[in-house]
Amino acid sequence: MASLLKLSTALRRPTLLAGSRAGSTYAAAFRTALSNEPATEVTTLDSGLRVASESVPSQVATVGLFIDAGARYEDKNSNGTANFFEHLAFKGTTKRSQAALEQEVESLGAQLDASTGRDQTSFTARCLSKDVPKLVEILADIVQNPRLDDADVKRAREVILGEIEQVDASNLREVVFDHLHSTAFQGTSLSNTVWGPSSNIRSIKADDVRGYVNSHYKAPRMVLAAAGDVRQAELEKLAEKYLGKVESTFDGKAPQLSAVRFTGSEMRVRDDSIPLAHVAVAVEGCGVADSDALALSVASALIGTWDRTFGGGVNNASKLAVASAHDKLCHNFESFNLTYRDTGLWGIYFECDPLACEDMLFNVQNEWMRLCTMVTDGEVERAKRQLKTRLLAQLEGPQSICEDIGRQVLQQGIRVPLHDLERRLENVTASNVRDVAMRYIFDRCPAVAAVGPVENLPDYMRIRSSMYWTRL
């Protein structure tokens, strides 16, 4: 077995921190800049629909509708319906044909997009700021008056089945993460895939989609979000005008998230015709609003992300990346911290040669145990800087800001200000990281998903027994 991780601290110089004077000056300027960022305004209308916006000095704006509707709100018989509607949404409405809708959007130079996840569905439009009122009207028409005729359903069914085949054949990362959710949250709605099983797709009819939309697309479950040269008061008037008739009451019981249960388990799909092994290992994380979420994100940043095409190699800051580059343990890896409202998955995904599974996993788990016991202040400072950079880079431009607003307001009811997020992140210490790692990682049963030539991957009990160190 490779043991480079045990030697790497002797091979590398200690992490050096910048001078305290320069660091404090930069930190103060950084906080001042963040505190001057425009605030996100959130208003709840009488119907329960939430309106949120952030004014950004830009000629381009993004506006979107975000709905509490996704695979988690489906049962085994309806799984795939939310994604099915996404494929039908732009096929026309009772007021506009598909051709008229496309011509109207193109004449404005706008772009429509739709996305379905496990816990939310979104419909967004990127346009000139002056065209926001028109795009709000178009989005409202799409979600309130979908056409949903049998011919469109038949064509969408063929498209979705083709996409499922394509994903299964070429996007093994997505396949592995679907398997990971399926085994980690088995028996709960969070195990549902976004696509749904092929048998469901073949049986879904227009009335099924219509019933799903009517029961889930209610005002209290929707957020209208916008970012760009927009004003909150104007956006509220647009919401009242075009979304004021969205029902706020439910026929029967309102859709609710079912309780989740994490199960330490594994799912392996051995296929020796695939050149690389694709493996994900994770423990149960925390919900998005949990106080441990930031510390777990810092722990994930400490493990890092690496690809053999990256520069740096053995000079990388991540010790796992050093080991991977030096011993050719894998082709790439990425540490992740997926958060949902009430739970999460914290772990790693990697792709490696068939005979490298055991060595790669040994190094991964060795590094996880080091997180629990020996992570240093210097490493945590470096990880916090990288996390700040990544978070801010993801919020460049109105589109990413609008999507962040919609997601946070839908999940938490508010959007955390950047300066507050930075302050909380700055308060994370090495001791905090070790504490949360001990609670969430040390001696916990992991979930494992693997696809490809995975014969060399250790059996589950071997993996479980490496989730702790015996300390004397």
Q: What is the pLDDT of residues 435-444, one digit of tens each?
A: 999 999 999 9
**Does an H or E element contain 334, and which?**
strand 332-339
pLDDT band at 12; cut points 50, 70, 90: very low
Say which range, 19-23, 31-35, 388-392, has the weakest mean pLDDT: 19-23
CATH topology for the 266-466 domain: Cytochrome Bc1 Complex; Chain A, domain 1 (3.30.830)
Q: What is the pLDDT of residue 134?
A: 97
Q: What is the mean pLDDT of the chain?
A: 91
**CA 212 to chain centroid:** 24
**Residues 282-340 pLDDT 10s:** 999 999 999 999 999 999 999 999 999 887 777 888 999 999 999 999 999 999 999 99
- Helix, coil or strand: residue 213: helix
pLDDT band at 37; cut points 50, 70, 90: confident
87-107: average pLDDT: 95
- Helix, coil or strand: residue 223: strand
- Sign of the Cα pseudo-torsion (166, 110, 392, 230, in order): negative
Residue carrying structure tokens 């772990």: 347
- Decide if pLDDT at 32 tops 80: no
d(CA 317, CA 52): 39
Q: Is 86 marked active-site? A: yes
Say which range, 10-19, 21-30, 109-118, 287-296, has the weakest mean pLDDT: 10-19
Closest to 401 measured CA to CA, from 423, 424, 413, 418: 418
- Decide if pLDDT at 272 tops 80: yes
**Does an H or E element contain 183, and which?**
helix 172-184
Second CATH level (architecture) for the domain 41-244: 2-Layer Sandwich (3.30)
Q: What is the pLDDT of residue 472?
A: 55
Q: What is the pLDDT of residue 30?
A: 67
User: What are 205's two structure tokens?
Assistant: 């009819």
Q: Are both 41-244 and 266-466 of the same fold?
A: yes
Q: Which of 54, 74, 86, 381 is catalytic?
A: 86
- Which letter, b or e, does each residue of 5-27 get, where b requires 16 or more Cβ atoms within 10 Å of its Cβ? beebeeeeeeeeeeeeeeeeeee
Q: What is the pLDDT of residue 3?
A: 42
**Residues 381-397 pLDDT 10s:** 999 999 999 988 888 88
Q: What is the pLDDT of residue 10?
A: 33
- Helix, coil or strand: residue 146: strand
- Identify the bridge partners of residue 278 per DSSP, sorted by sequence position: 351, 451
d(CA 441, CA 286): 12
- Other Cβ atoms within 10 Å of 304 Cβ, number: 20
- Decide if pLDDT at 360 tops 50: yes
User: What are 7's two structure tokens?
Assistant: 């030697």
- Identify the bridge partners of residue 451 per DSSP, sorted by sequence position: 269, 278
Q: What is the pLDDT of residue 23?
A: 54
- Domain spans in the chain, listed from the N-terminal domain onward: 41-244, 266-466
Q: Are 263 and 185 in contact (CB under 8 A)?
A: yes
Q: Are 86 and 196 in contact (CB under 8 A)?
A: no
pLDDT band at 19; cut points 50, 70, 90: very low
Angstrom distances, CA of residue 403 to CA of 143, 209, 297, 406: 18, 25, 20, 5
Q: What is the pLDDT of residue 33?
A: 65
pLDDT band at 22; cut points 50, 70, 90: very low
Angstrom distances, CA of residue 281 to CA of 180, 233, 264, 435: 8, 47, 10, 21
Q: Helix H segments across 89-131? A: 98-107
Q: What is the pLDDT of residue 24?
A: 59
